[in-house]
Amino acid sequence: SRLYDVTPPARDPRLLEQSIGAERYAAFAAAGRDAAERFAGRKIVNINSTPAGGGVAEMLESLVSYARGLDIDAQWHVIEGDERFFEITKRIHNHIYGLPGDDGPLGEAEHADYFAVHQGVQARLAEIVGPDDIVVVHDPQPAGLVPLAKQLGVPVLWRCHIGVDVSTPHDVEGWEFIRRYVEPADTYLLTRVEYAPDWMERGRLRTLRSSIDPMAPKNRPLEPQFVRDVLAHYGLIAGSAPAGLTFTRKDGSTSPIARRADILQAGPPAPADAPLVVQISRWDRMKDMPGVARAFADHLLDTDAHLALVGPAISGYADDPEGAEQMLEAMSAWRALPGAARERIHLACIPMTDLEENALVINALQRHAAVITQKSISEGFGLTVVEAMLKGTPVVGSTVGGLLEQIVDAESGLLVEASDLAGFADALRRLLTDADYAAKIGDAGRERALDLFTADRHLARYGKLIGETLA
Ligand code: UDP
């Protein structure tokens, strides 16, 4: 196993001013100066298990780079395990979410193999973490590092981005497995208090919302014509893009947009002027991509809308061994649809080889979409929804987990029970057929995302909570 540094360069927090306004930016910058003083001489070492793909990597990239821009020595390191390790961590994950999994055990043999990966990087951890530093361990995969970091005598926060409401009957096996490691953390940071298992001492429990960066390649403003060109170029909508299409990278340089020969798709591109319903997710059972296709095929073929289900090319996620299987399952569900539905439903796997280009395509899709859906069976937070809200695109989510907090039903989006396919289709129909209503919901979503779920709010709260852990 290996622990390696992926700390991004500093990003100027002033970039945020464009979207959050001068007044809010000034307050944020002042809080940043206080935090820089408070944490002077201390590194804040974040550790997770993947450098790219999924919400956690997305957030770490922006939060760590803005913190560095505020003269706070935040770092980001990634633990790399073997196949067996990720098989065990996926099993833990499935148990926490109560999903039927591979039925494999979570016994002492699994503890031994899981913890061996963490022990394998213990020496490296001791090199990285000095006596004045602070460690933030993200999610169950690197949780074995909590006790090892505690042995170094530093404050340790365990940030758990996943979870389900534990007041409903739930499976405790996954939680019990990681309890052995995370219980000694000084602070538990959960997305919602409802996610906390009983054994978590309430005095050490704090909540923290997730966030997005309005100026990241995934979210920054794009010209409408450029949006259409990018999507046509990728074959996601019909039409041809002008030759020599380029985009601007974060560092200001210009790159050609590659026509991706390796993009895997099913279904014809949607006509450029057809309303497009889009769900963007990892290929994961919890996201229920086949359920979205079924709802659309059964209830919405009488509209002029099309549906695109978009996920990463399957090699994208090191810590997600079920991705390939789930992607193939979505493909076979698509193949089993009647021809009339296949004409209107499009599946695409977007390569993750160039993350900035991937972000650009996702950004363009979220802007082009008439509606963005997230019909998850379970969802810890749901960044894709906030990304769409910030762009003013109306959203339909399911009544689970973090989505309940992000979307105020019938105000900043629509919420439907995940199992209610007809209700889900009705919500889509309403947004597809009533332009004023869709615009109103989209505008309110944008306000809400800016107000609650942006990087400056998130960083300020992190600073406060880390400060409290030190006190
Ligand atoms: N994402 C992406 N490409 C994809 C699928 C997803 O860049 O093909 C991004 C998506 O835009 C979002 C993140 O991955 O930023 C997913 O976060 P979310 O909280 O929605 O779900 P998670 O994957 O963490 O369960």
Instruction: For residue range 26-42, list pLDDT tens digits in order.
Output: 999 999 999 999 999 99
Nearest-atom number in ligand 1 for the CA of 381 is 19
Q: pLDDT of 74-87, one tens digit each?
A: 999 999 999 999 99
Determine the pLDDT at residue 315.
61
**Dist CA 359 CA 141 (whole Å):** 25
Distances (CA, A) of 189 to 38, 200, 209, 233, 347: 20, 11, 10, 42, 36
Cβ density class 393-405: b for 16+ within 10 Å, e for less: bbbbbbebbbbbb
pLDDT > 80? residue 15: yes
Determine the pLDDT at residue 55.
84
Cβ density class 149-182: b for 16+ within 10 Å, e for less: bbebebbbbbbbbbbbebeeebeebbbebbeebb
Identify the bridge partners of residue 427 per DSSP, sorted by sequence position. none
This prediction has a pTM of 0.91
Q: How many helices (H) and strands (E) does the chain have?
A: 18, 16
Nearest-atom number in ligand 1 for the CA of 286 is 25
**Ligand 1 mutation target, pool 289, 365, 383, most atoms within 8 A of CB:** 383
- What is the number of alpha carbons within 13 Å of residue 330 lying toward its C-beta? 34
Nearest-atom number in ligand 1 for the CA of 311 is 8
Report, as an integer, the average pLDDT of 137-149.
Answer: 98
Q: What is the CA 54 to chain-centroid distance, rounded?
A: 4
pLDDT > 80? residue 368: yes
Tell me if 395 CB under 6 Å of ligand 1: no
Residue nearest to atom 11 of ligand 1 (CA): 384
CA 395–ligand 1 middle distance (angstroms): 15
**Dist CA 122 CA 108 (whole Å):** 20
pLDDT > 80? residue 320: no
**Ligand 1 mutation target, pool 59, 62, 280, 355, most atoms within 8 A of CB:** 280
Tell me if 58 CB under 6 Å of ligand 1: yes
Tell me if 384 CB under 6 Å of ligand 1: yes
Please tell me whether residue 430 adopts helix, strand or coil conformation.
helix
Q: pLDDT of 247-299, one tens digit each?
A: 999 889 999 998 666 678 899 999 999 999 999 999 999 999 999 999 999 99
**Ligand 1 mutation target, pool 384, 406, 453, most atoms within 8 A of CB:** 384
**Ligand 1 mutation target, pool 61, 97, 282, most atoms within 8 A of CB:** 282
CA 282–ligand 1 middle distance (angstroms): 6
Tell me if 217 CB under 6 Å of ligand 1: no
Give me the chain's average pLDDT, please: 94
Report, as an integer, the average pLDDT of 117-140.
Answer: 98
Tell me if 60 CB under 6 Å of ligand 1: no
pLDDT higher at 168 or 274: 274
Tokens at residue 173, please?
A: 């096996």
Determine the pLDDT at residue 319.
62
**Res. 317 pLDDT band, cuts 50 70 90:** low
**Res. 313 pLDDT band, cuts 50 70 90:** confident
Is the CB of residue 401 less than 8 Å from the CB of residue 382? yes
